[in-house]
Amino acid sequence: LFQPGKLCLKNISKLNSLMGDPAKELKIIHLAGTNGKGSVSFKIAKTLECSGYTTGLFVSPHISSFRERIQINGKLITEDEVVEHLTKVNALCEENEIPATFFERVTATAFSHFKHSKAEVVVLEAGLGGRLDATNIITPILSIITSIGLDHTKILGETIEAIANEKAGIIKPGVPVIVGKSCPFDQLKRIASSKNSRAIRPEDVEANPYPNPYTMNPDELDYDTENSYTASSSLAYLKTRNILPKINDECILSGVKIRPPCRFEILSVNSGSKKIKVVLDVAHNPIAIEKLVKMLKRKFPGKNFRFMIGMSRDKDIKKILRTVGNEINNSPRGGLHFARAKENVSFDERNYVIEEASLEVKACIRQVLNKTDEENEVVVICGSVFIMCEVRQALGYNEPADSSVIEETVGIKNCATQDN
């Protein structure tokens, strides 16, 4: 059903045109970035909903249900709507011999759904990179680049400069771009200027009700605060420029406090007679892991950490292990466990005592909880978003699930690993 292929805009452009160009009719906020783009998208969408806008949200990948990817005012697209829109997209691909990838077809489905649902604003998260991402056929009202780091280097480039060039592909002529703190601002500013656009630091936006976190002690700054500040600055810009005038300060302050699932999500889990603190986080690259460890130490001073990690093969496992391993080696207790999701997880176990490296997620969680000292340890489950569905189910949470109809139409199963 889905075709492999190099990143390009040819397929999605043709699909969108055959559908009547729904992307052109949408008022879109477009986001890219190595880390934080999903959280910032979520915070912006929640603020816009609060402010009275019918708000579409497109994010990827999903945790438990394919339908999480396409939402209107927090309501997941229904199964009937998926079948309606995606069936039409698939038919257009077959009739016109368009070798569209999974992500291109899903993006086209989202554009169609948002148009038919009369979304007033759409928050659109890029899937991979920016320049050649399937979402990049639109002209937004605002672009946002949350952060730049080394991830997906085989596709996007081996250096920060190369990756920044790819992310900067979402900058459009005459459309301003908010540039997050963890970005090479001067480089992105030059690219924006070449397109007659303006690159704006979050701290340069006027009338932002959210306090500037960069005046704080750096040791007190965490990534959720950075994401909230990037989101609030973007919203304040749209408000003060009268682009989205219904945005109000109260909604900004309440909206940016909200986090999507598995972003430093703290749970209290019963395990026999023990009540164990568990943190779920989709940190899956070295920068995100470093920030996660920093936030853990700040949130749980004096505690030891027992990590359970599941990663896809393309991650810098050695560097991630150094960060996590150093934390464990400095603790009198704690441990490092690796879980195997739907695909085998690659890792480098040299110089580390890995207690179990090949357990399925459910078995790995049982082992972790059994070994955890509830008084002195916090369990940290992190890595690829693709393990989080199995994790949450194993912890007893009732996750949204797709029926066989969705599996047949979309071509994936619940909790399945799907590349963007």
Give pLDDT tens digits for 137-156: 999 999 999 999 887 777 78
The neighbour count for residue 1, using CB atoms within 10 Å, is 12
For residue 3, pLDDT over 70 is answered with no
For residue 336, pLDDT over 80 is answered with no
For residue 342, pLDDT over 70 is answered with no
Residue 174's region, left for phi above 0, alpha for psi from -120 to 50, else beta, is left
Please state which of the ranges 47-56, 81-90, 256-265, 379-388 shows the lowest mean pLDDT: 379-388
Return the higher-pLDDT residue of 168 and 385.
168
Calculate what percentage of the chain has a pLDDT beyond 90: 58
Residue 58, H or E segment: strand 55-58
Residue 353 confidence (pLDDT): 34
Q: Model's pTM, two decimal places?
A: 0.88
Question: pLDDT for 74-126, tens place per residue?
Answer: 999 999 999 999 999 999 999 999 999 999 999 999 999 999 999 999 999 99
Lateral strand order in the sheet of 335-340: 265-271, 274-281, 377-383, 304-310, 335-340, 359-360
Q: How much is the mean pLDDT over the chain?
A: 86
- Tokens at 299, concatenated: 């949130």
Residue 71 confidence (pLDDT): 98
| Band of pLDDT at residue 340, cut at 50, 70 and 90 | low
Question: pLDDT for 13-36, tens place per residue?
Answer: 999 999 999 999 999 999 999 999
Helix runs in 177-278, H state only: 185-194, 223-240, 249-255
Residue 150 confidence (pLDDT): 81
Return the amino acid letter for 262. Answer: C
Token pair 């929640």 is found at 46
Residue 414 confidence (pLDDT): 53
CA dihedral 227, 312, 395, 380 (to 10 degrees): -60
For residue 256, pLDDT over 60 is answered with yes
| Band of pLDDT at residue 345, cut at 50, 70 and 90 | very low
Region 322-340: mean pLDDT is: 62
For residue 9, pLDDT over 50 is answered with yes
| Band of pLDDT at residue 168, cut at 50, 70 and 90 | very high
